[in-house]
Amino acid sequence: MIGQDPAQTEAVTRRILSGQAGRRVQGFVEKLGYTKSYLMINAFLYGIYNQSMALPHLNDPGIKDYRHKWLEAAFGPGKIEAVVTFGTPAFDAWKQFEPVLAAQGVAVFHKRALHPTADKPSGPITRKDLLDNWNVALQALHAQIQKPDVVKPLVLYGNDFTPAELPEIPSRDLPFGFPAWMRRTDFWAGMPQPPAPAGTERANISVQVP
């Protein structure tokens, strides 16, 4: 799974896709029968506060080379059956890496999907649009996967997420000692109000303990 960049929650947990987006993707992964044999990598190592400023740097040599080191290490053992890119930056990052694999004679199935939080309030993409897109991706991926952790029939999404489709982040995916509420709830990390001085927004994160 290739994501975009870590937000406030991920800055605390040090695991990409661990807030609302994370629980949605966790459910996506589990629908494919994966309980532990998955890998998640971001296009950007650090959080993007202003995407219009950051995205032109997606393939700056230092950023791309470091990302490619992670991806080459991941593909080295030859155990990856499929790749999912969530969102445009992830897709663009993958397209930069595909020629590296091709030069090594490695081919892998790839499916592009909408970002897990593409259904922004009042935005052009609805929750149903998101889940319809994910259902298409799931069906394509399910047909390709040969060795999931658990063999199970594919159950597609309806018009909205069910509670079962928003599982908590497994404790083994986070550093030792993280409280359970960080794995099962959303929006507990945020940036201070009023906004911090420009350039320090993601250096000032508040955590609300339930």
The string of DSSP letters for the chain reads -EE----HHHHHH-SSS-SHHHHHHHHHHHHTT-SS----EES-SS--S-HHHHGGGTT-HHHHHHHHHHHHHHHTTS---EEEEESHHHHHHHHHHHHHHHHTT---EEEEE--TT---TTSSS-HHHHHHHHHHHHHHHHHH----SS--------SS--GGGSPPPPGGGS-TT--THHHH-S--EE--SSPPSTT-GGG--EE---
- pTM for the full predicted model: 0.92
pLDDT at 190 over 90: no
Residue 114's contacts (CB-CB under 8 Å, 6 or more residues apart) are: 86, 87, 125, 129, 130, 133, 134
Give me the mean pLDDT over the 169-194 stretch.
Answer: 90
pLDDT at 168 over 90: yes
Q: What is the total residue count of the chain?
A: 210
The residues that bridge with 41 in the sheet, in sequence order, are 2
23-64 confidence digits (pLDDT tens): 999 999 999 999 999 999 999 998 877 778 888 999 999 999
115-150 confidence digits (pLDDT tens): 999 999 888 999 999 999 999 999 999 999 999 999
Instruction: Identify the band that residue 13 occupies on the pLDDT scale cut at 50, 70 and 90.
Output: very high
The residues that bridge with 84 in the sheet, in sequence order, are 111
pLDDT at 200 over 90: no
Task: Report the C-alpha gap between 147 and 169 in whole angstroms.
Answer: 22
Domain borders along the chain are 2-207
65-113 confidence digits (pLDDT tens): 999 999 999 998 888 999 999 999 999 999 999 999 999 999 899 999 9
